[in-house]
Amino acid sequence: MSFEPRRLTDATVMRALAHPTRIELHELIAREGELTATQAGERLGLTPANVSYHLRQLAKYGFIEEGSSMPGRARPWRVRSAGHAWDGIGADAETKAAASALTSVLLERDIGRLRGWLEREQTADPDWRRAAFLSESLLYLTREELAEVGRMITDLLLTFAERIDPALRPDGSTPVQVLAAGFPLPPSETGN
Instruction: Tell me how many domains the chain contains.
Output: 1
Give per-residue pLDDT as tens, 82-124.
788 898 888 899 999 999 999 999 999 999 999 999 999 999 9
Question: Is 60 exceeded by the pLDDT of residue 65?
Answer: yes
User: Which residues, in sequence order, are CB contacts of 93 under 8 Å at separation 6+?
Assistant: none
Higher pLDDT, 3 or 125: 125
pLDDT given at position 2: 55
pLDDT given at position 74: 77
pLDDT given at position 191: 56
Determine, yes or no, domain membership for 1.
no
Determine, yes or no, domain membership for 63.
yes
* CB of 18 closer than 8 Å to CB of 54: no
What is the CB neighbour count within 10 angstroms for residue 29? 24
143 is in which domain, residue-wise?
Answer: 6-190
pLDDT given at position 3: 60
Task: Look up the CATH number of the domain holding residue 57.
Answer: 1.10.10.10
Determine, yes or no, domain membership for 81.
yes
Q: What is the rounded distance in angstroms from the CA atom of residue 33 to the CA atom of residue 56?
A: 17
Question: Is 90 exceeded by the pLDDT of residue 63?
Answer: yes
Determine, yes or no, domain membership for 125.
yes
**pTM for this entry:** 0.83
Determine, yes or no, domain membership for 159.
yes
The H-or-E segment that residue 65 falls in is: strand 64-66
Give per-residue pLDDT as tens, 123-179.
999 999 999 999 999 999 999 999 999 999 999 998 998 898 888 999 999 999 999
Q: What is the rounded distance in angstroms from the CA atom of residue 63 to the CA atom of residue 16?
A: 10
pLDDT given at position 88: 83
Q: Which of 58, 66, 49 is nearest to 23 (CA)?
A: 58
Q: Which of 176, 166, 189 is nearest to 1 (CA)?
A: 166
